[in-house]
Amino acid sequence: MKVLTSKKAMIALFSVSTMVLAGTIKDINSRSISKKHHILEMSPAERNLASDGDSPQQIAIMKVMMSEANKINGEWEITRIVGSDEVVKFDKLNNIEDKNKSSKIVMRLINISKVELNNDPELVYDISLLSSFGTIAIFKKIGNGFEILEAKKVKVKEENVIVEGESHLVLERALNQAKSSKVLTGPDVSGEMILTKTSIEGLSVSITNTNGEVQNIEIASAQLLDGGSFKADVGDEEVSGVVFNNGKDGYRLSFVTGPLAGAMLNFVTQDELQRIEAKDNENNDENYFVSEEQAVKAQTEALEERREVASRPPEEMEPVRVLSADEIKETAETQGYSF
């Protein structure tokens, strides 16, 4: 059985304390619970605490509805861990050795009163307490006891907010370095998404690489975590990445894992896309006329040079030296072909 104390959750970084648990389960039940919540059920422990004699132990499961997922979903810092053997494994607030240690987990509400840690379906815990000031107590039955975790929610700084309200965006360009160093624009890219203060909604992207390969990805919804990071399941594969501001009206989405790992996508508003396209068309027109002017000038200079050479007396003309096959090969290898 996989538990949070596995290396996957990084709890193994903490040294095990010899402090003996004294009524932790009772402590959780004795804490005040918000009036918005009520006890869903009592989960009996198969093993009693010595301090309570022969009376069976129970842990309250607080009723937290899916509509309250925004209170759960996000990053949390663990403050206390009590193993199923009733021994405190980690106590950041009371153990001097643990004060400077830190372990953060990503928590997601997946059902009424049930949370999943680090997107791992084997790390599912019940909620025993959710306070109004951002602390939580969760537990998981292991063997004859309960593993109990206490944590506080990591606050997202306001300056990290990517967008206020809701913004409808379209894909303007992409760079998929795993396939090519060419920046893909125009008909080679298409996509859209809705970016909110807390999530990415309706992401749909299609890019055509320089080799003709078409790559697509669709994400119905992904919660934005601290710093604009996100994770989502696409089929049987986990996709992660980060989104951040890219100028006043632009946003860059970079994939870290998944089928587009390493790709960078630039999204803009529809108005900004029209402005960029209009500017590109204007630049193309200017470049066309400049190219025409330069071509005429080059032709004129070449014609004058030929006239000047033709007017020279024969004795001033340099003889033409014919290169050997070896010299031609050496020139091609060192300087390339010149047309």
pLDDT tens-digit map of 220-252: 999 988 778 899 988 888 899 888 888 777 899
pLDDT at 190: 94
45: confidence class by pLDDT, cuts 50, 70, 90: very low
User: Could you report the per-residue pLDDT of 157-175, keeping only the tens digit for each?
Assistant: 544 557 777 889 999 999 9
315: confidence class by pLDDT, cuts 50, 70, 90: low
In terms of C-beta density within 10 A (0-12 exposed, 13-18 middle, 19 or more buried), how is residue 190 classed? middle
Mean of the per-residue pLDDT values of the chain: 75
pLDDT at 25: 42
Segment among 13-22, 180-189, 262-271 with least mean pLDDT = 13-22
pLDDT at 54: 47
What is the per-residue DSSP string for 208-268?
A: E-TTS-EEEEEEEEEE--GGGEEEEEETTEEEEEEEEE-SSSEEEEEEEESTTTTEEEEEE
Q: Is 57's pLDDT higher than 70?
A: no
CA atoms within 13 A on the CB side of 250: 15
Domains of the chain: 7-155 (no CATH), 159-268 (2.40.160), 273-330 (no CATH)
In this prediction, residues 91-98 reach a mean pLDDT of: 91
Record the pTM: 0.41
pLDDT at 82: 93
Q: Is 17's pLDDT higher than 50?
A: no
Selection from 137-141, 162-166, 258-262 with the highest mean pLDDT = 137-141
Q: Is 131's pLDDT higher than 50?
A: yes
307: confidence class by pLDDT, cuts 50, 70, 90: low
Residue 171: which of 263, 277, 251 has the closest Cα? 251
293: confidence class by pLDDT, cuts 50, 70, 90: low
In this prediction, residues 41-70 reach a mean pLDDT of: 62
pLDDT at 214: 94
> Percentage of the chain with pLDDT > 70?
64
Q: Is 152's pLDDT higher than 80?
A: yes
Greater confidence (178 vs 336) lies with: 178
Contact present, 194 and 201 (Cβ < 8 Å):
yes
DSSP 87: B
In this prediction, residues 46-69 reach a mean pLDDT of: 63
